[in-house]
Amino acid sequence: MTAHRLILWATASALVGCELDTPDGPDPRPEPGPWDPFVMTYDIGSDTAVETCADREVPLEPRDVEAGASWEIDGVWALLYEISEDGYAADAAGDGCIILAPAGLRLDLTTLPCGYDTVRLSLTDGCRQGCTTVKTVANGAITHTVQTDAIGDHTIVIADAQPLDSLLIESNEGIVCPVQLTSSEAAP
């Protein structure tokens, strides 16, 4: 018997397309795009659906910049919080970026349909070594902590061995731009 797979690609609210694939045929899926956050694959003849993930970019512009403010960004919940007794400041910086000076930002990844295990973010540190810290959390525990090593522009990439629950970004004076999420389970 020849195995077939029914492949669906969709947004969170609408089916975009589907194809029937055979082991001998080419991959029918289009290149991932903003309309294609995940792909469902169903093996015909079995009861197992396997969800695979496409890369996702999360813009960080807040709707409200007060401490404790939270907002939803394409399925990711963001929360601003205080990190210092010396005060709190956060503001939108444009182009999907946020200013944290000083402030913390928590991104909750548990509501996403996929298990993302790699994060990449660009930031500008404006004060000193260790001024900005990025932490990943998986299974309720901090798995990685990365601090900036100097004033200036930085690209931070953290790959974890397991899906992430959340991302914590804390800065005394920094600008953080959209976070890119990748899954090792991404569609081939």
Give me the pLDDT at residue 33, please: 41
Q: Quick one: tokens of 74?
A: 């394409």
CB 151, CB 126: distance < 8 Å? yes
Write the CB contacts of 141 (distance below 8 Å, at least 6 apart in sequence): none
Task: Report helix, strand or coil for 73.
Answer: strand
Looking at residue 36, its amino acid is: D
Give me the pLDDT at residue 168, please: 97
Domain residue extents for the chain: 5-53, 56-182
Give me the pLDDT at residue 68, please: 86
CB 57, CB 179: distance < 8 Å? yes
- Output DSSP code: residue 27: P
- Start-to-end CA distance of the chain, whole Å, equals 24
Give me the pLDDT at residue 7, please: 44
For residue range 90-138, list pLDDT tens digits in order. 898 889 999 999 999 999 999 898 889 999 999 999 988 889 999 999 9
Q: For 107-124, b where at least 16 C-beta lie within 10 A, e where not — what string? A: bbbeebebbbbbbbbebb
Among 27-31, 95-99, 143-147, which is the least confidently predicted range? 27-31
User: How many whole angstroms separate alpha carbon 178 and alpha carbon 95?
Assistant: 8
* Residue 2 pLDDT exceeds 90: no
Looking at residue 126, its amino acid is: G
For residue range 30-79, list pLDDT tens digits in order. 444 443 344 444 444 445 555 557 899 999 988 778 888 899 988 899 99
- Output DSSP code: residue 32: P
Confidence of residue 152 (pLDDT cuts 50, 70, 90): very high
User: How many whole angstroms separate alpha carbon 22 and alpha carbon 117?
Assistant: 29
Q: Is the peptide bond before 102 cis (omega within 30 degrees of 0)?
A: yes
Give me the pLDDT at residue 52, please: 58
- Output DSSP code: residue 26: P
CB 146, CB 69: distance < 8 Å? no
Pick the CATH number of 56-182 from 3.40.50.1100, 2.60.120.200, 1.10.10.10, 3.30.70.20: 2.60.120.200
Burial class of 92 by CB neighbour count within 10 A (0 to 12, 13 to 18, 19+): middle
Q: In the block, which residue shows the tokens 């960080």? A: 60
Q: What is the pTM of this model?
A: 0.71
